[in-house]
Amino acid sequence: MPSEIATMRYLKDHSTIPIPRIHGYDADADRHVGGTWLVMEYVEGLNVDQVWHTLTSTQREQLALSLADIWSQLMLQTFNRIGSLYECPEGQFAVGPMTFLPSKNHYAIAPPERAKCGPFNTTKEWLEATARQELAYRLSLSPQPDASSRINSVLDLIRVSEDLESSTKWDASRLSIEHVDYSTHNVLVSPVDPTKIMAVIDWEGARIVPMWAMNPAFRWPHDSDELEIRHLKALMRDRICSQVPGWSSAIGNECRPLRVLCMKATLSDRNPDLINPDGYPLDMSPDL
């Protein structure tokens, strides 16, 4: 929770993204309360999913562009380390250990060990920690056969990667904030003007990573028309590319080897035959 609060407060001060104001919270570090709590500003708004089927095509396009503008603002925030944001006692902000969404895996028994979650000074350090499975939830399952040798193989790939070495100077490698669940269910719009975004919520798990590692898998309401969604994604992609230096490269072929390497690191203990050789599918890929 402290990182989620810090991210919201930072963006409230450093962007025009509509974010509810935090009035108070308790992370219950001393366990006196018996649970965490948070009091936020009330925002009168409707979930996009609630109004989507009442919108005209033009309104949907306007909303898609507004969503793209918010993503652009996130991409234009720049940091010098990989991890998640925290607030210092003096009121300043600093990058600290990376935080994660709760696991939906039945076999998850413990979150990643905080001491191994960064912050990371380089992308190489972050990918190595990822490959060692230090940023993954611990599972009750027995390790897969040959998991150690697979992990070592991926670590070797990371250490000799020329793409990783040369990418440090690319705009596409800029370290920015990623909302890891940026979807319609986390966006509230005005009941009067449903093209006006009133709030972006649920910043839990927000992280700071290279732009090429981000994948805004924006989930649209169920039963949306596939052709229309492709059109809206293209609108959003073009809008972001026009505002954010390096975004076109980040989601294009130039950074594909880095995305493949990131996927191999994430799945380093799995059977490599199960890994898509093209890396993870990008929701905003120019190929879609």
Give me the pLDDT at residue 277, please: 66
Query: At which residue do the structure tokens 């449903």 appear?
Result: 194
Specify the DSSP class assigned to residue 101. Answer: P
Give me the pLDDT at residue 97, please: 97
Minimum mean pLDDT range among 49-58, 182-191, 221-230, 248-257: 221-230
Average pLDDT score over the chain: 88
Beta bridge partners of 175: 79, 210
- The pLDDT-based confidence of 35 (bands split at 50, 70, 90) is low
The span from the CA of 11 to the CA of 79, in Å, is 13
Q: Is it the case that residue 179 has pLDDT exceeding 90?
A: yes
Burial 144-160 (b: 16+ CB within 10 A, else e): eeeeeebbeebbebbee
pLDDT tens-digit map of 161-173: 998 988 887 899 9
Please state the pTM of the whole predicted model: 0.89
Neighbours of 282 (CB within 10 A): 22
The span from the CA of 239 to the CA of 49, in Å, is 22
- The pLDDT-based confidence of 152 (bands split at 50, 70, 90) is very high
Is-contact 178 74, C-beta < 8 A? yes
- The pLDDT-based confidence of 269 (bands split at 50, 70, 90) is confident
What tokens were used for 70? 């918010």
The span from the CA of 29 to the CA of 129, in Å, is 26
- Helical residues (DSSP H) of 76-191, grouped into ranges: 123-131, 147-160, 162-166
Query: Where in the chain are the domains?
Result: 2-102+170-263
H/E segment holding residue 42:
none
Neighbours of 39 (CB within 10 A): 12
